[in-house]
């Protein structure tokens, strides 16, 4: 890990470290909704700081300074509004379906342990640091003793899909829709593909297809391959529901295994068990985490990326003429151009598009309707919002918030975050109801991938 770094220019105040056990809340789930979740958490600690007359808080995360919103893991310690004493919130975003699983299965031990549980920063991770008003940030901290795997279930999970779309449909203590999360089709840097239909995406998910499927020119015989998430992902589940592919239908997806940080030179069909170092030099976040983890379908091609961050990074890279490998690392093609398509969050789509000085990936229209993502920070533009709110653009789902806990202080924190999400949804999507100047959705859907109508 990188050495501990502090944001300077803040007045240091001591924060007592003996009250960490007052209440500890563990949050997991959707990677595509990290930004909105963390923004809402920070907003509540800011409120707690003010309401208590300047009681400070502090937080740490696994990204660079000022990039907490993109972190997989974070820990927050301080005064939370409505809760007496010190509140510690720990986040580990592993994917929507895996998040629902973490609320149903224990982390370790027991009759039905979670086979791939979220792992959190130790409760005492911030011991010995200082805090300031309104908070001190510790970026990429050194972790002493490793991450913690719970011996119970996690408390709260965010999910891009309903739990009925997972192998864990059991009723939880709550199931709340907190926003609309929006997605985009994307093609890799240098691709000529600018529009994808549901039928085309279904065809490519089943196996590589010739470029002629997209261009209509029979001379275009080079291949188009699918890149996507593993099946613990709500992004993947939403996509499969939306295009009518089937949530549990297996796919043939590829991952970048290039050793280069800037160029895609090697692609591999995801093998059973995930990419491993015996095959080549996989990029960050791949390795065994690329295997299929949830539905008991760890078969060739059915795995994918653990996080949308890695897809965004790879789609923004310069796309050389790569060597394509099968699941056993046998060469399928070399010295031939290929095109890649994926379905990803609008935040990740914008990141990929802006790579290489704006010469990165291409936003693709979905079923003939395109987004421009020209709002602030690459968020939805006014024109985009109308397409979604009125039903023209349907690549979206409801972001849901679940809990299994009934502990009073944890329920208080849950309700506070649920109330804060609509105003802090940021680049993830849209609130469902009117929030400030943002008007409500004019259409709805009854289920994941269901009909969109007023």
E strand spans, 62-135 = 73-78, 87-92, 119-120, 131-132
Query: Residue 150 gets which letter from DSSP?
Result: P
| Residue-level pLDDT at 196 | 98
Q: Name the residue among 150, 172, 125, 161 with its Cα closest to residue 26.
A: 150
Using CA atoms, how far apart are residues 339 and 342, in angstroms rounded to an integer? 10
Q: What is the pTM of this model?
A: 0.90
Tell how far CA 258 is from the center of its chain.
23
| DSSP string over 219-257 | T--SEEEE--B-TT-HHHHHHHHHTTS-TT----BEEE-
Helix (H, G, I), strand (E, B) or coil at 395: coil
- Kindly give the confidence (pLDDT) of every residue in the chain, 454 residues in length, as a single tens digit, with 9 standing for 90 and above: 433 443 332 222 223 333 344 899 999 999 999 999 999 999 999 988 777 777 789 999 999 999 999 999 999 999 999 999 899 999 999 999 999 999 999 998 878 899 889 999 999 999 877 766 678 899 999 998 899 999 999 999 999 999 999 999 999 999 999 999 999 999 999 999 999 999 999 999 999 999 999 999 999 999 999 999 999 999 999 999 999 999 999 999 999 988 777 889 889 999 998 876 544 444 444 556 788 889 999 999 999 998 898 899 999 998 879 999 999 889 999 989 999 999 999 999 999 999 988 889 999 999 999 999 998 888 899 999 999 999 999 999 999 999 999 999 999 999 999 999 999 988 889 999 999 889 999 999 999 999 999 9
Q: H helices then E strands: how many in the chain? A: 10, 23
Q: Where are the domains of the chain?
A: 5-179+398-430, 180-389
């Amino acid at each position: 890990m990188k050495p501990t770094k502090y944001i300077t220019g803040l007045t240091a105040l001591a924060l007592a470290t003996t009250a960490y056990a007052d209440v500890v809340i563990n949050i997991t789930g959707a990677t595509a909704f990290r930004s909105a979740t963390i923004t809402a958490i920070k907003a509540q600690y800011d409120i707690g700081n003010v309401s208590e007359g300047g009681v400070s808080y502090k937080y740490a995360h696994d990204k660079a300074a000022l990039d907490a919103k993109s972190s997989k893991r974070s820990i927050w310690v301080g005064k939370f509004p409505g809760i007496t004493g010190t509140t510690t919130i720990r986040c580990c975003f592993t994917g929507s379906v895996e998040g629902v699983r973490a609320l149903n299965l224990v982390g370790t031990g027991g009759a039905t342990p979670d086979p791939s549980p979220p792992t959190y920063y130790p409760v005492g991770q911030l011991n010995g640091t200082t805090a300031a008003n309104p908070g001190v940030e510790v970026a990429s901290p050194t972790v002493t003793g490793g991450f913690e795997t719970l011996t119970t279930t996690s408390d709260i999970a965010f999910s891009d899909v309903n739990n009925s779309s997972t192998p864990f449909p059991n009723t939880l203590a709550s199931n709340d829709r907190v926003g609309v999360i929006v997605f985009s089709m994307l093609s890799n840097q240098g691709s000529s593909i600018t529009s994808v239909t549901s039928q085309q995406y279904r065809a490519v998910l089943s196996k590589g297809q010739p470029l002629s499927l997209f261009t209509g020119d029979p001379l275009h015989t080079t291949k188009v391959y699918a890149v996507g998430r593993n099946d613990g992902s709500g992004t993947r589940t939403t996509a499969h529901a939306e295009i009518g592919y089937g949530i549990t239908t297996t796919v043939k997806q590829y991952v970048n295994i290039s050793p280069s940080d800037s160029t895609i030179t090697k692609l591999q069909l995801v093998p059973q068990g995930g990419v491993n170092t015996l095959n080549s030099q996989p990029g960050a976040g791949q390795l065994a985490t690329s295997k299929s983890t949830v539905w008991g379908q760890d078969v060739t091609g059915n795995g994918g990326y653990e996080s949308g961050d890695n897809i965004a990074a790879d789609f923004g890279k310069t796309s050389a003429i790569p060597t394509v490998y099968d699941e056993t690392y046998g060469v399928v093609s070399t010295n031939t151009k290929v095109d890649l398509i994926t379905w990803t969050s609008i935040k990740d789509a914008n990141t990929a598009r802006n790579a290489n000085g704006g010469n990165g990936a291409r936003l693709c229209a979905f079923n003939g309707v395109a987004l421009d993502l020209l709002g602030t920070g690459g968020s939805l533009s006014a024109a985009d919002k109308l397409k979604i709110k009125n039903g023209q653009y349907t690549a979206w789902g409801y972001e849901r918030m679940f809990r299994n806990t009934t502990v009073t202080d944890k329920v208080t924190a849950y309700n506070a975050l649920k109330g804060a999400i609509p105003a802090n949804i940021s680049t993830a999507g849209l609130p469902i109801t009117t929030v400030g100047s943002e008007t409500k959705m004019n259409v709805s859907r009854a289920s994941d991938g269901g009909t969109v109508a007023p």
